[in-house]
């Protein structure tokens, strides 16, 4: 049944995708509120899918890449809705809606019971470690999207005849603040997730966990995440510099995620 609810959620997310496509093609936003409500309903059914999968399997639902992708898509949706509630940035939907749809579709198409579930997934620290880490990734993604919108808006402002979609973008100050808040919220999550994972990994696998490429890249991502925060707080980086740095951070996050396929201790995510 969890797969059925995931497909229902995908159906609602598809309305968000349609909204994003028509916005780009027509260069104006139409029926956004209907798409927003559909996305909220999709979040609800997505949550039901995750809970039912976890209850049926008797574990936290991240035993393979499909389950982890589903949880990540859920957190991105939640982050987008919270961001919209706080700042009313409707144009963020043009980026967020397609990303969530594609990730949920990929999860639904590759969904299957994990044949062999590693014993480590039964550890009490795994749900918090994974949830916090993915929440940090989701926040970094929102900061990345805010950075992309900032650069687009800045470029359009320099044009003598900005295109129609320019008028649907939020002010530069709002976009910059959204990116800053996303990083501020995400950093504690990814820090706690990394620390809990380090303690748990040291207990489960001994000293060789430090040689795992996923671990090394995760620590490097944390350093970049910290630099993103410090560049705003201490160095006063805002606007274009902060937007470019957020994009660099997202590239590093993708590299870190890809390391799951090279990892010795995270190989279950490749199943």
- State whether the Cα torsion 257-262-265-267 is positive or negative: positive
Helix (H, G, I), strand (E, B) or coil at 242: helix
Domain co-membership, 213 together with 105: no
Per-residue pLDDT tens for 232-248?
Answer: 776 566 777 778 878 88
Q: What is the mean pLDDT of residues 137-144?
A: 89
Pick the range with the lowest mean pLDDT from 112-126, 149-163, 170-184, 232-246.
112-126
Domain presence at residue 249 = yes
Q: Which residue has the tokens 């159906």?
A: 11
**Residue 88 pLDDT > 90, yes or no?**
no
Domain co-membership, 88 together with 130: no
Domain co-membership, 67 together with 176: no
Rounded distance, CA 99 to CA 138, Å? 11
Domain count, the chain: 2
Cβ atoms of 137 and 257 closer than 8 Å: yes
Give residue 192's domain range: 118-266
Rounded distance, CA 29 to CA 17, Å? 12
Model confidence at 102, in pLDDT bands (50, 70, 90)?
A: very high
Model confidence at 70, in pLDDT bands (50, 70, 90)?
A: very high
Q: What distances in angstroms separate CA 123 from CA 62, 100, 170, 187, one per listed residue? A: 12, 29, 44, 24
Domain co-membership, 243 together with 224: yes
Higher-pLDDT residue of 238, 22: 22
Domain presence at residue 34 = yes
Among 131-140, 197-206, 234-243, which range has the highest average pLDDT?
131-140
Q: What is the mean pLDDT of residues 51-79?
A: 87
Indicate the burial class of 168 (C-beta count within 10 angstroms; 0-12, 13-18, 19 or more): middle
Domain co-membership, 137 together with 247: yes
Domain co-membership, 186 together with 110: no
Domain boundary among 115, 138, 154: 115
Neighbours of 196 (CB within 10 A): 17
Among 16-25, 46-55, 236-245, 260-269, which range has the highest average pLDDT?
46-55
Domain co-membership, 8 together with 49: yes
pLDDT of residue 170: 72
Model confidence at 42, in pLDDT bands (50, 70, 90)?
A: very high
Indicate the burial class of 88 (C-beta count within 10 angstroms; 0-12, 13-18, 19 or more): exposed
Domain co-membership, 130 together with 247: yes
Domain boundary among 115, 149, 173: 115
Domain co-membership, 257 together with 160: yes
Domain presence at residue 271 = no
Domain presence at residue 194 = yes
Domain presence at residue 85 = yes
Q: What distances in angstroms separate CA 153 from CA 7, 91, 161, 188, one per listed residue? A: 35, 11, 13, 29
Domain co-membership, 107 together with 13: yes
Backbone angles phi, psi at 212, to 5 degrees: -70, 130
pLDDT of residue 202: 74
Q: What is the mean pLDDT of residues 205-225?
A: 76
pLDDT of residue 271: 47
**Residue 261 pLDDT > 90, yes or no?**
no
Domain co-membership, 155 together with 46: no
* Predicted structure pTM score: 0.84
Domain co-membership, 85 together with 132: no
Rounded distance, CA 144 to CA 182, Å? 9
């Amino acid at each position: 049944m969890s797969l059925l609810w995931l497909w229902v959620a995908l159906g609602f997310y598809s309305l968000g995708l349609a909204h994003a496509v028509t916005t780009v093609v027509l260069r104006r936003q139409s029926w956004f509120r209907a798409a927003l409500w559909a996305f909220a309903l999709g979040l609800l059914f997505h949550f039901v899918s995750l809970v039912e999968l976890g209850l049926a399997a008797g574990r936290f639902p991240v035993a393979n890449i499909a389950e982890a992708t589903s949880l990540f898509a859920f957190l991105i949706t939640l982050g987008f809705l919270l961001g919209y509630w706080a700042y009313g940035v409707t144009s963020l939907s043009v980026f967020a809606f397609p990303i969530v749809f594609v990730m949920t579709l990929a999860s639904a198409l590759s969904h299957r019971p994990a044949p062999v579930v590693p014993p480590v997934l039964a550890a009490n620290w795994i749900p918090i470690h994974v949830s916090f880490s993915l929440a940090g990734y989701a926040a970094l993604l929102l900061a990345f999207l805010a950075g992309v919108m900032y650069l687009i808006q800045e470029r359009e402002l320099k044009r003598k005849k900005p295109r129609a979609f320019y008028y649907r973008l939020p002010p530069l100050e709002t976009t910059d603040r959204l990116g800053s808040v996303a990083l501020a919220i995400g950093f504690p999550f990814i820090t706690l997730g990394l620390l809990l994972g380090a303690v748990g990994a040291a207990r489960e696998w001994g000293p060789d966990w430090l040689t795992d490429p996923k671990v090394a890249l995760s620590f490097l991502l944390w350093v970049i995440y910290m630099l993103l925060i410090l560049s705003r707080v201490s160095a006063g980086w805002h606007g274009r510099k902060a937007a470019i740095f957020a994009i660099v951070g997202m590239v590093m996050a993708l590299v870190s995620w890809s390391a799951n396929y090279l990892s010795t201790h995270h190989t279950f995510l490749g199943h």
